[in-house]
Structure 1
Amino acid sequence: MASLFAIMLGVFIGWLVGWMFEKGHVPEFLKSPIVFSLVILCFTIADEVTHETGLLAVTTMGITLANMKLSSIEDMRHFKENISILLISTIFVMLTASLSLDTLINVLNINIIGFVLLMMFAVRPLSIWLSTIGTDLTWKEKTLIGWIAPRGIVALTVASYFVSLLSEEGYGDAERLMPLTFALVFATVCAHGFSLRLVAHKLDLAVESKPGVLIVGSNEFTIELAKTFEQQNIHVLLVDSSWERLSLARNQGIPFYHGEILAEQTEYSLDMTPYEYMVCATELDSYNALVCTNFVPTIGRNNLYQISLNQHQSEDVGELVHTIGGRILFEPPTCLYDLRKLVNSGYVLRKTKLSEQFTFHDYLTNRDDTSILLYIVKSTGEIRFFTTDYDQSGEAGDVVVTLMAPSKEFRKIKEKVDEQNNNRE
């Protein structure tokens, strides 16, 4: 009965919150605080009726809210992520502050050390190998999963709770549970955290490629831009909701994804892991800004870029760029219409590697005045786009990509051929 009451309470409060939001009874700036307050209220009421049913009540409340498909659910999700980090950090401080010096000394007990080693090198790997029997995982993948198992806040919290319960029941050895758990958490976090990259490399499971670029909008310019990334072994993906606009990309073998980047289904069907940069280059300025703003929490504003449709912007619009949308490309800033026109007229994207003899300053001095600086690939693999709000600099080993006139390109090729002929003579 207690569990049934907790479920009904969670459903009711969840429905009540959703109803108030849909009817506009709660202003936007109060939605997150009100949800947070009602979560505490729901938990307290259920827990007062029957101990340990509060978690069931708030879980049911969350499920109810999630299935009501509220328009402001994303804002609350960001609030939840921020407050979760704050609360988890606070719990870590509170739990570790309760550890006495004797407890920390007990961590060095030979029995506790033996238990930790047994958990890390026997129990965890054996449980993984047994539970993955019949799956398509390779032995390398099973080995990596069996090794990586860091314990954290859940283990410490549960251990702290059971210590108090066992102590009340008169178990004298209950106090040993806390240093045991603390030793396991500390050992697994340090060992697995510092060794993950090394073990993954040894098992050939690490991703070696450079950070990738996700380009929203398929057109003549973005296809040529995607080619330069592919030529440098950088992951690139063109995203567009139109098969017609993607036809040229498909014909030229450019990786693409057909779908709406803002659709909820895209979150499940498109793996965003390889891509650390996003370039929005569709024919709608407002859509580009919307996409960039939507992906700020995921990618970060510094790695979100958009190509403007207009060559000149009013001062009012320019001020909005800092809070809405992505950073404006390139140097000098060029609108999408002009970029497509230049590519169609024969302009090419040229890559130039800097060296000690040919510096970035030399490159800027010798480049054609009509050329457009696009981006720099650093020797570390980092990509730095030329934008209107930041001056880039290049070093030896960096690759500069520029959109330049075909005559300039032909002259470069001719000079290179002449140099090769002279070397042969």
Structure 2
Amino acid sequence: MAILQVEFYPELNIKEIEDADTEMKQNAKKLPEPFFFKPREHFDLNTIKAACDPILKKGIEHVIVLGTGGSIQTLLALKQYANKQVHPITSSRPTELKRLFKIPGLKDNSIVVPVSRGGKTLDVNANLYLFPRYDMLGLSSRGPMNNILKTMDVKLLEVPDLSGRFAASCTNVALLPAYLAGIDVNTFVDGLEAGYKIFDDSVPIQTNPAKKFALYLYKLFKNGYRNVFSMPYFSWLKGAVGLWVQELSESTGKEGLGLLGTYQEAPLCQHSVLELLLGGSKYHTVPLLWILEKDPHDIPLNNTIKHIQDKSAADTVLYQANATFEALLTQECPAAMITLEIPTLRNMGLLISFIQSTIYHLCLLFNVNWANNPNVLLGKEICNYAMEQDKSMMQMKETRKKVASEQFKDFWLLE
């Protein structure tokens, strides 16, 4: 049985597959090289160890990571393999900060790792001064955060100028905090390398699951579908699904094109969205189910109900996932399922390599730059300007009402 299986319907025909491979090769010549296919070229484990081992000798128990977006998503997929407490702080939301600072002895048993490639991320910079007497190790190469950390006499390691959401898995961005948290970085990267041997651009589409799945999604887009709704049935997969959502949306979503990634945990989502998918409006959403063959945390249910007897907790979840997949197909709803054999750290590396390869190949079909995200800056600029001008929330409301009236003046004429 393969470590990772991809099943989707309706199936593709051979002619479509061959034509798509040719198109991807042509478009690849016009777009940035996929650096992440060679993960070991972009980090030096000895440098990571030299920076981290003195900190680890102090016996820290908590790794606090200040980061958001591409700076944190890969780590969220890996934190379950840590032997220390990992605290991702993705913004200045008060509840999360208050909960963090309630942890007894936090200051004396922690390392704080602020992460930002450009150094201008408000969600990171806003929180820096909350940790003035904490041990800190910064990941930054330029910008305001870099300058602030230097004034605080914080040791800094570089963040390469590479697309963050793709770079984290093979650079200091995720690998350094992962090492601090006790995660075996080499094993994870071994999984990445094993995956790219199966999924990268050198492997023909006929034997490349990532290329085939990218073509499947692209064809659905051409048929009017705009949303890929992920349903992770096991908690092991939640972090990887978050990375999928970001990479799908941020990489394909430009030049008036793209697919929106969304998700809710399963089986919970069966009770919130399945009615619409089965009986509501059609041709907009592709359900994507994520499952494990085996969950190492599985337990017997010891249930006396006849059809549940001898079934484990994971069995019950798997029956629901497979039944939901079939139900979707009975209603002519295109759907897909990704199955990971068992969630070892190496296999998680392989899963992330599949995610990144699929998104890269999908961007080749869209013929858009997989590495950039130019429009994300718009909201950041509006926010920074409003804060610099000390605008009130009421003033911001008045501004957006004016913007909306100008942008949507003929909107309802489209009815």
Higher helix share: 1
| Larger-gyration structure (1/2) | 1
**What's the TM-score, normalizing by structure 1?**
0.21
